[in-house]
């Protein structure tokens, strides 16, 4: 059948298939995840901007010394985890809105894997900084 | 049929033949409003902020890897083009933050009337531009000062 002509492929009417499905049953949790991570990022990113005044133009030894302090490492890890969690949740909405059909699931997976790996890389960099600054003493 | 929502677009004429119902009008039929630019900007700056955060993680990774990798990273961050990227990241994060705060205010049920929305839009732009300019120039100055001080100290030793 010509694809441009509207047609119904199954015996069951398409409206009947769609009706009663209701909402996705998980949207509210996603919405809360987006808002709570956003609110958490406000103090964390403010802290980061303040730290950037200390680190702007810094050399390697200064950055290692900074990263070795437990408070900085904790805040940095929290910032990285929250940032990429918020990015994951936010990018998922963009993918849901603009990517349809067969590309949708791969795009969703790409967002999930990409943001998770970047977050992990950041956390391990923080751990490595702590380790290397304690061995430098 | 890939998308179940399309089921709602298939209707039937009185003679029984199927017809695709018209979709709602798309963006180009609407008159330009500041609020719609600010809305899509919040999304775009969110994506840019994520890309910048990815670069930030690579910077941290370079610091963790060692002095040699960090020297390469500093070449990028000290480069005028690299600094333009950093300023763009900062501005995106700031705008996304301002937009995000507006969303949180709306979620609490405030400032969501038409007049309030139209009043707050220019304020949001002003705050974002002002904060970006002040923070970006201050950060670049601090970084440049620290560099030149170290260069002088290096010469003295």
pLDDT digits (tens, 9 = 90+) for A80-133: 999 999 999 999 999 999 998 889 999 999 999 999 999 999 999 999 999 988
Spatial separation of the C-alpha atoms in residues A132 and B117, rounded to whole Å: 50
Minimum distance, in Å, between the CA of residue A63 and any CA atom of chain B: 7
pLDDT of residue A14: 64
Is the CB of residue B67 less than 8 Å away from at least one CB of chain A? Answer: yes
Give percent above pLDDT 70 in chain A. Answer: 83
* CATH number for the segment(s) A25-136: 1.20.1300.10
pLDDT of residue A28: 85
Domain boundaries, chain B: 33-156
Spatial separation of the C-alpha atoms in residues A44 and A86, rounded to whole Å: 13
pLDDT digits (tens, 9 = 90+) for B70-114: 999 999 998 999 999 999 999 999 999 999 999 999 999 999 999
- Could you tell me the pLDDT band of residue B155, with boundaries at 50, 70 and 90? low
**pLDDT value at A2 more than 80:** no
Q: Which residue has the higher pLDDT, A78 or B25?
A: A78
- Tell me what the mean pLDDT of segment A68-90 comes to: 97
Q: Please judge whether A129 and B60 are an interchain contact, meaning their C-beta atoms are less than 8 angstroms apart.
A: yes
Give percent above pLDDT 90 in chain B. Answer: 71
Residue B109: φ, ψ to 5°? 90, 20
Residues of B in contact with A7 (CB under 8 A): 10, 18
CB A23, CB B23: distance < 8 Å: no
**pLDDT value at A18 more than 60:** yes
A100-114 b/e with 16+ CB inside 10 Å = b?
eeeeeeebeeebeeb
**pLDDT value at B60 more than 90:** yes
The answer to which of A84-98, B24-38, B119-133 has the lowest mean pLDDT is: B24-38
**pLDDT value at A22 more than 90:** no
pLDDT of residue B131: 97
Task: Nearest by CB to A18, from B7, B100, B101: name it.
Answer: B7
pLDDT of residue A25: 66
Phi-psi region of A58 (alpha: psi -120 to 50; beta: other; left: phi over 0): beta
**pLDDT value at A1 more than 50:** no
- Tell me what the mean pLDDT of segment B134-139 comes to: 96
pLDDT of residue B31: 86
- Tell me what the mean pLDDT of segment B107-130 comes to: 95
pLDDT of residue B1: 47
- Tell me what the mean pLDDT of segment A52-59 comes to: 91
Residues of B in contact with A118 (CB under 8 A): 53-54, 57
Fold of B33-156: 3 helical TM bundles of succinate and fumarate reductases (1.20.1300)
Task: Give, in order, the Cα–Cα distances in Å from A23 to each of A19, A92, A95, A112.
Answer: 11, 17, 18, 22
- Could you tell me the pLDDT band of residue A134, with boundaries at 50, 70 and 90? confident
Task: Nearest by CB to A80, from B57, B93, B138: name it.
Answer: B57
């Amino acid at each position: 059948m010509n694809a441009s002509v509207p047609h119904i492929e199954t015996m069951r009417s398409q409206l009947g298939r769609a009706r009663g499905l209701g909402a996705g049953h998980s949207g509210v949790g996603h919405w809360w995840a987006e808002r709570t991570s956003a609110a958490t990022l406000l103090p964390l990113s403010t802290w980061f901007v303040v730290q950037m005044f200390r680190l702007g133009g810094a050399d390697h030894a200064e950055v290692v010394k900074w990263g070795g302090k437990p408070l900085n490492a904790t805040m940095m890890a929290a910032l990285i985890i929250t940032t990429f969690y918020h990015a994951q949740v936010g990018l998922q909405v963009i993918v849901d809105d603009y990517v349809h059909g067969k590309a949708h699931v791969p795009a969703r997976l790409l967002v999930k894997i990409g943001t998770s790996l970047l977050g992990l890389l950041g956390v391990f960099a923080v751990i490595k900084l702590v380790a290397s600054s304690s061995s430098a003493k | 049929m890939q998308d179940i929502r399309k089921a709602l677009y298939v209707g039937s004429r009185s003679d029984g033949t199927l017809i695709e119902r018209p979709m709602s009008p798309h963006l180009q039929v609407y008159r330009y409003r500041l609020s719609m630019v600010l809305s899509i900007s919040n999304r775009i700056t969110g994506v840019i902020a994520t890309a910048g955060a990815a670069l930030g993680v690579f910077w941290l990774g370079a610091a963790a890897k060692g002095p040699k990798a960090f020297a390469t990273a500093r070449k990028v961050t000290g480069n005028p083009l690299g600094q333009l990227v950093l300023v763009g990241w900062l501005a995106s994060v700031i705008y996304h933050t301002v937009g995000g705060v507006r969303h949180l205010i709306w979620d609490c049920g405030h400032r969501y009337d038409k007049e309030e929305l139209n009043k707050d839009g220019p304020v949001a732009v002003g705050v974002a531009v002002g904060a970006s300019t002040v923070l970006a120039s201050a950060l670049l100055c601090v970084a440049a000062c620290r560099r030149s001080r170290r260069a002088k100290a290096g010469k003295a030793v």
